[in-house]
């Protein structure tokens, strides 16, 4: 049980080790299958694009995990983590373009609208965090907007 309470010390290594192992096995199996079926150049191009996606995911996951482990400013980091999910979502979108999954495209458009609103709220929270005191309770966008207006009036 003590090991679970110290999850911050081992979670990065565990996730990256599992991801690396799965990535290695998947690349080997897919390359063997493509070579066995004598795939054409377009399929190999799709495979190389997928490799770049698979190599960009650990970098994004590392940054996201860093924010989760060092979660000291929830009012900012919650929004930053949502924005950092942009890389895996758009990378998956780029690879899936070749497969043309219509339901995936609709889900990605929803993710994009959430990302835009998250970025707007991050800018709003970040711009109000330096000039006024914040209460310890979590606040909504309306409260942040109120503080921004209040600070302008008091300045």
pLDDT tens for each residue of 74-121: 878 888 888 888 888 777 777 766 666 666 666 667 777 777 777 777
Q: Judge if pTM exceeds 0.75.
A: no
Residue 137 above 50 pLDDT? no
Nearest C-alpha neighbor of 51 from the set 108, 112, 94, 100: 94
Cα distance between the two ends of the chain: 52
pLDDT reported for residue 45:
77
pLDDT above 90: percentage of residues in the chain: 1
Residue 72 above 60 pLDDT? yes
pLDDT reported for residue 132:
43
pLDDT reported for residue 133:
47
Cβ contact 12:65 at 8 Å: yes
Give exposure, 118-136, as e/b (b: 16+ Cβ within 10 Å).
beebbebbeebeeeeeeee
- What is the rounded CA–CA span in Å between residue 100 and residue 93? 10
Q: What angle do CA 148, 153, 155 make, to 5 degrees?
A: 95
């Amino acid at each position: 049980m003590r090991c679970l309470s110290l999850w911050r010390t081992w979670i990065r290594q565990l996730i990256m080790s599992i991801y690396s192992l799965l990535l290695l096995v998947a690349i080997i199996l897919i390359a063997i299958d493509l070579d066995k079926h004598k795939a054409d150049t377009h399929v190999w191009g799709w495979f190389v694009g997928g490799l770049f996606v698979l190599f960009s995911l650990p970098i994004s996951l590392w940054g996201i995990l860093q924010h989760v482990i060092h979660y000291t400013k929830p009012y900012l980091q919650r929004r930053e983590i949502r924005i950092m999910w942009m890389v895996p979502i758009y990378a998956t979108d780029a690879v899936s373009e070749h497969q043309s999954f219509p339901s995936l495209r609709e889900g990605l458009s929803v993710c994009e609208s959430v990302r835009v609103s998250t970025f707007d709220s991050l800018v709003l929270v970040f711009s109000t965090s330096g000039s006024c005191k914040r209460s310890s309770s979590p606040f909504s966008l309306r409260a942040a907007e109120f503080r921004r207006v209040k600070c302008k009036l008091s300045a």
